[in-house]
Each structure stands twice: as structure tokens, then as C-alpha cells.
Amino acid sequence: MSLIPGLVAPQAEDALRIAGFLQRFAGVSTADLSLVVERQRKGEMRFSEAVFDLGLATRAMVDAAVSAEGDAQTIQLARPSLLLKVGHDAFHPHSERIRALRTELLLRSGPATSQTLAVVSAGAGEGRSVLAAELAIAFAQLDEPTLLVDADLRRPSQHHLFNADNRRGLGSLAAGEPPCLQAVEGLPQLAVLTAGPSLASPQDLLGGPRMAHWLRHWAAGYRHIVLDTSAAADNADALTLAGRIDAVLPLARRHHSSMPALKTLLERLRAAPARQLGAVLLEF
């Protein structure tokens, strides 16, 4: 990228990747990139910090550019599927209900600078993944940095819901690889981390130091972190996460969820440090 001369190691590679990403997806001009370099030099800051300072990109976009595989010409944006109505039809009654839930969660969570929320349910097929995705979209629509993490490492679905690449994701942390965040078309404040490669023992990762490190790292840059989880009746993954995040949102699906399993889940969640921000009953 000879259009932005003067970049120096060790940040040069990230700067080139960010610059290419912004030119391709955000319409940032060569003149704008020259301003970034000038601001970087004057302020003695990283290229990404200069980009933020000039308001040319969101944290989600920069993180996606830095962590993506390949160069800017091969990076693809994730795209919300039509199942995620709040991302496609703002006037649909379902979208209004999601926004109402978003408002209630914000009121209950208080003025924290960052909030990590796991959507949990007892069984499979209860709508947990779709709700997590739609809540993340709704938070991002407030123009606040939002990260959606597919922490269901057993039956992941966020890569399907966002038509996203799933080669690198949360499971990559087990091998010591950094996660690959993906920017989302039409939602500049949203980044998605898919589940990535499957693991023999997901709890070892979810309860280990690597997960704790990345949760702290993400909390420093994102106002909202939404985690999709696996069915709590089948394993203890969701409860493991509940021990190291801010809040949980249990859900059940009418005429589908097992009430004994839901009761057991709620009892087990009471012992977790995370706050329970009410509960959701899905009607579909």
C-alpha cells in the first residue's frame, strides 16, 4: 500500500491492513489516509489510534481488519441472514420487541462502561442463538461498539446466521491463535467472532486463562459483549461462562422448553457470580 508512505515497524503490517480495509469497505480516500499518517506522527500514536481520533472507522472495523486472514482484497464482510429481522426490517413488530428488550436490559444493567451478557437456555432449539444475534445487532444499532461471540462450541450457529467464515474463531484460542473478528455489512459497530474449530473439551477453554484474558481485552474496547452459549442441560459450558461475566439472560420457548430443566438451570445460575437480568419467554 504505497498510498500511505512513512509507516514504520512493528505496526506497519497492521496499518497497511487497516488502510486497505477502510478503502475497500468504508470509502476512505487516499487523502484521508494521509491525514491519519500525519496525525499518527504528530501524536506519536498507533495507526489505529489515529484512525479513531479522526473518526474514520469504528473499533469493530479496525479489529476485523487487524485479525482477518489474508490481505484487504480477500476480506469479506459477514452478512446478517433474513432470520435476523432486526437487521433487515426496522418496522417489523418483532424488531420493536427486540428493541424493547434491549432497553430493559440497559436499564437493568446500569451505567457500566462495558457489559458482558450471556444468553442461556436449558435445551436446544429454544431460540437462544437467534436472540443473542438480534440483541447484538440491536446494541450495535445504538452506535455503540458491540461484539457477538459464539461460545457454543458444540453446536455453533452464528456463522450460519451471519454467512460468516468459520475457519478461525473462539476455538482457535485453544491452539494459542488469536481470534478472528469479522465486520458486518451495514452494521459498522458490530463485530462477530464465530466458534471456529471444534474442541474435544470446550470447558477447558471457556474456564481457562486464555478466555479470561480475551474477555478483559474485549471489555476494554466494546460497550456490549453478547455471548451465545450451548444448551445448559447437556453440559456446564454456560455455567462456566457465567462464573466470569457480568450478566446472564435465561430464556425459554413456550410449548417447547422443559420446565424441570429450566427450573434446574435457574437454580444453578443463582450460585453464579453473574447477575440474572430477568428472563425471556419466546412465543414462536
Q: Where are the domains of the chain?
A: 12-57, 85-282
- Is residue 206's pLDDT more than 70? yes
What mean pLDDT value characterizes the chain? Answer: 90
- Residue given cell 466470569 in the structure block: 244
Q: Where are the alpha helices (DSSP H) in 141-232?
A: 158-161, 202-206, 209-219
> Top-level CATH class of 85-282?
alpha beta
How far does Cα 95 stand from its chain's mean position? 19
* Closest residue by Cα to residue 260 from 280, 240, 232: 232
Q: What percent of the chain has a predicted confidence (pLDDT) above 90?
A: 69
Q: How far apart are CA 271 and CA 284, in angstroms?
A: 30
Lowest mean pLDDT among 83-87, 134-138, 275-279: 275-279
Q: What is the mean pLDDT of residues 158-171?
A: 96
At 73, the pLDDT band (50, 70, 90 cuts) reads low
pLDDT of residue 98: 97
**Entry field: residues in the chain:** 284
Count Cβ atoms below 10 Å from residue 137 Cβ, excluding itself: 27
- Is residue 183's pLDDT more than 90? yes
* Closest residue by Cα to residue 59 from 24, 25, 18, 87: 18
- Is residue 72's pLDDT more than 80? no
pTM for the full predicted model = 0.91
